[in-house]
Amino acid sequence: MKAAILEKITSLEENKQPLKMVELPKPVIEAEGILVKVSACGICHTELDESEGRTRPAKLPIIPGHQVVGTVAKRGKLARKFEIGARVGIGWINYACGQCPACISENENLCSDFRATGRDVNGGYAEYLAVAEDFAFAIPDVFSDVQAAPLLCAGAIGYRSLRLANLADGQRLGLAGFGASAHLVLEMVRYRYPHTEIFVFARNKDEQAFARDLGAVWAGDISAQSPKKLNAIIDTTPVWKTIVEALKNLEPAGRLIINAIRKEDRDKNYLMQLDYGDHLWLEKEIKSVANVTRRDIEEFLTLAALIPIIPEVEEYPLSEANRALVEIKEGKIRGAKVLRII
């Protein structure tokens, strides 16, 4: 099978070809596993973090990709959840033990043995992928394969972020950064909280215009002062600057949700500007988002099909995965980027 692999940690500023195209054997499935013939795989900023070492893969080489859509080509002798030919998706969560305190309390995203698709096990930048059937999800008919792919991470993690924001209809929400996840959050909010105003902080004019096109009442620069104080802000950026800037725009008791697996070191000194009185006092909260649960993916796919949420996507062939990653590095983003595998 054709696959794009990451062989070593590298800087995309110095190396524009972090992934290598190779031919590999098809993966072997276990008794409760399924073999998925991949048709599309979303491209996430996490793959950039993996390539540059901020989120180091468990092994190298590895096949990245955790927003995977395809059809069941084969199933193990104990697999019964999906028929051959069924359309399925695979997200970031690839395994949780099901027995630890986190799993028992429905927080399997915090399982100490949590494994991620494309980081701890091979992912979807390939023609085939093997996964346990309990960690695959039925794809609603309303979505094409390319449309469904970004829903499995950008959508699901955005859904979890919105849950953690504890937003009530009529309260004001801010979105710091406006890439693949944030534009899906905006559509969720417009459906679930019709009286909520949405304010977007984005680094370039195109992203700001895109946010307004989708219904944001205001869009400005990352460091801009919001025209109104906000009850919650979801930060989807990889930088530290947005944390300080977001906190000053929160209402008392407001909540900042950080939807990022890592923050880059490039502006870490910005935290020296953090002032207790201006940024944290009056019971403001900061909460991070860690991974997703199967419940997040299942509930979000149901919600997305009901609305329906049809993400804006840019398609690339598998052979151009490197170009797509470099564009993410350079901030050339509108909606979600998706690899078309077949």
In this structure, what are the phi and psi dihedrals at residue 170, rounded to the nearest 5 degrees? 100, -20
Return the pLDDT at 208: 94
Q: Residues 129-148: what's their mean pLDDT?
A: 97
For 310-328, the pLDDT digits (tens) are 988 999 999 999 999 999 9
Distances from the Cα of 302 to the Cα of 167, 171, 187, angstroms: 20, 24, 14
Q: Mention the CATH class of domain 156-288.
A: alpha beta
Q: Per-domain residue ranges for the chain?
A: 2-153+292-340, 156-288
For 260-306, the pLDDT digits (tens) are 888 877 777 878 888 888 888 999 999 999 999 999 999 999 999 99
**234 - beta bridge partners?**
175, 257
Integer Cα distance of 288 and 31 in angstroms: 36
Integer Cα distance of 250 and 236 in angstroms: 16
The helix (run of H) or strand (run of E) holding residue 69 is strand 68-75
**Cβ partners under 8 Å of residue 288, min gap 6:** 257, 258, 260
Residue pair 2/129 in contact by the 8 Å Cβ criterion: no
Return the pLDDT at 15: 93
Q: Name the token pair of 53.
A: 């070492």
Give the SS3 label for residue 100: coil
What is 285-315 written as a DSSP string?
Answer: EEEE-----HHHHHHHHHHHHHTT----EEE
Q: Hey, what's the torsion of the CAs at 17, 19, 21, 25, to 10 degrees?
A: 170
Q: How confident is the model at residue 21 (pLDDT cuts 50, 70, 90)?
A: very high
Integer Cα distance of 51 and 47 in angstroms: 6
The answer to whether the Cα torsion of 150, 308, 106, 78 is positive or negative is negative
What is residue 276's DSSP assignment?
A: I
Return the pLDDT at 342: 78
The residue length of the chain stands at: 342
Residue pair 156/297 in contact by the 8 Å Cβ criterion: yes
How much is the CA Rg of the chain, to the nearest whole Å?
Answer: 20
144: left (phi over 0), alpha (psi -120 to 50) or beta: beta
Strands 198-201 and 173-176: parallel
Return the pLDDT at 274: 85
Integer Cα distance of 34 and 39 in angstroms: 15
Q: Residues 141-145: what's their mean pLDDT?
A: 97
Pick the CATH number of 2-153+292-340 from 3.60.10.10, 3.90.180.10, 3.30.930.10, 3.30.230.10: 3.90.180.10
Integer Cα distance of 304 and 52 in angstroms: 32
- Letter for the amino acid at 197? E
pLDDT, the chain, mean: 94
